[in-house]
Structure 1
């Protein structure tokens, strides 16, 4: 756990943004208005990942996030990697290389049976691209997403608006040239987990001090916790699909090894608001035009939302 000399006065965790810069700006204004000036100015702000896809303004979202340290120098900013961000990074060559030097093509085998119907990218550079980058930049054959009751936007990741925000057509290899270097560095540097000690949280029994783990989707309940933490801390890109960034029901609950421990686990990803003890899922579907971007503020557990849902 990363130790701090003093417990952070305020910790803010921001849910999925998914390309909606106007909602992000609205949420930020609402946070600033809702919190005491000194608390906001010195807050630890953890963005829970998924900055791109679905919404129209991924490029502007990344510009907004990159400006935060200059605009708010007293804050600490943590940018987690979501499954959409990992795939975007993979497509534009910004994903950290596998730690053992293996090629990204080694990630294809487990999911190669999906290549045709998901329409994986086969353009220039695909030969050594992580499987999630190929899925992200491909063109899915099935145009309708039955799980969401909506059409796909280009690929299984709904990546078309991200391409278009950089001025290129969906699936074009020119995206790698269109994305500014500072955006590639941002994607490359995203952390897969953030661990914080001495986080205060208000409970019915009074305020307690906890450890906090922030990870995009959650931690698997039945898999060895230390192995999950190793993958996350080292950003092990040998893994074809990182369940802690991509899973659903398997990462919904607190893992067995942390049950009963004073450890807050905060995630986004799931498109739902869920609070159960010290397990927090903060994502009210901000990737859809009619849903807000949500944030939670510790220690009070206050929920703040964007005002504009479009």
Structure 2
């Protein structure tokens, strides 16, 4: 029986910021106003990845995130990598581990011309995802999204521009501050939280939370996937758990940013609070 005085810790998951600093600041302000100060200041905040691209202010977004541990020393901050962040890290040379760049290209080599992979300075040592991210997509309109392309499949041009360089410029490597590179280098691919509480009709339910950007793959052993993600093995051309859609477990619909997330789903599910 749960102690009536027991107060579960607050866990917040925030997904897919994509370079929108104003929305992120507004969301943070909403959380501060809707959660009592003690709970907010000791909360576990899990950012689910995709901090860059599409929106105009990647530099400011990462500045904001880097500053959080200093501003809120009693909070716990977890920064997961999304596929966009993985590619960004690859371009500036801070992916973890060792890999042979060309080995990551082979499986998708037939797509190089259509996707306009980067062939500028330093491409020979770049991971496939970094080359796709920084390349120029020939099609100027993305029919799947119904939007104009912003440089590449990843819509990475705004990220380059936020650091004061043109899309596909090797100067980005020098333009990105060292603390941003460290942020990109340190991102985790999966995070587990034990004993996370959700409210049910029967009372508080104690659950395990596994957070990963896109989702865990269908039909594969969970433990093997978790071990792979914890190892951050960059030798593969594509990390499905960071970029998969059709081949990962179904995930809940993105929640409206004006809502306060008060519950987390049970084992291996993720709730998004998106900007």
| Superposition TM-score, scaled by structure 1 size | 0.81
In structure 2, the CA distance between the partners of 1:294 and 1:222, relative to structure 1 (3 Å rule), is: farther
Give per-residue Cα distances to partners, 1:67-101, cap 9 Å, x unaligned: 10111111000000000000000011011123xxx
In structure 2, the CA distance between the partners of 1:136 and 1:294, relative to structure 1 (3 Å rule), is: farther
- Tell me if structure 2 keeps the 8 A contact 1:160–1:169: yes
Gaps of 5+ in 2: 1-5
* Residue matched to 2:261: 296
Taking the aligned partners of 1:142 and 1:61, their CA distance within structure 2 comes to 28
- Tell me if structure 2 keeps the 8 A contact 1:295–1:303: no
* Residue matched to 2:71: 71
1:168 alignment partner, one of 147, 165, 170? 165
- Tell me if structure 2 keeps the 8 A contact 1:14–1:296: no
Taking the aligned partners of 2:262 and 2:202, their CA distance within structure 1 comes to 19
- Tell me if structure 1 keeps the 8 A contact 2:190–2:211: yes
How many residue pairs match? The answer is 266
Question: Quick check: 1:199 aligned with 2:196?
Answer: yes
In structure 2, the CA distance between the partners of 1:293 and 1:249, relative to structure 1 (3 Å rule), is: farther
Give the C-alpha shift of residue 127 in structure 1.
0.4
Q: How does 1:182-261 map to 2 (within 5 A)?
A: 182-253=179-250
* Residue matched to 1:132: 129
Question: Quick check: 1:60 aligned with 2:50?
Answer: no
- Tell me if structure 2 keeps the 8 A contact 1:12–1:43: yes
In structure 2, the CA distance between the partners of 1:173 and 1:304, relative to structure 1 (3 Å rule), is: closer
SS at match of 1:201: strand
Relative contact order: is structure 1 or structure 2 higher (C-alpha 8 Å, sep ≥ 6)? 1
Taking the aligned partners of 2:241 and 2:209, their CA distance within structure 1 comes to 16
| Superposition TM-score, scaled by structure 2 size | 0.91
Question: Quick check: 1:96 aligned with 2:96?
Answer: yes
Give the C-alpha shift of residue 299 in structure 1.
6.1
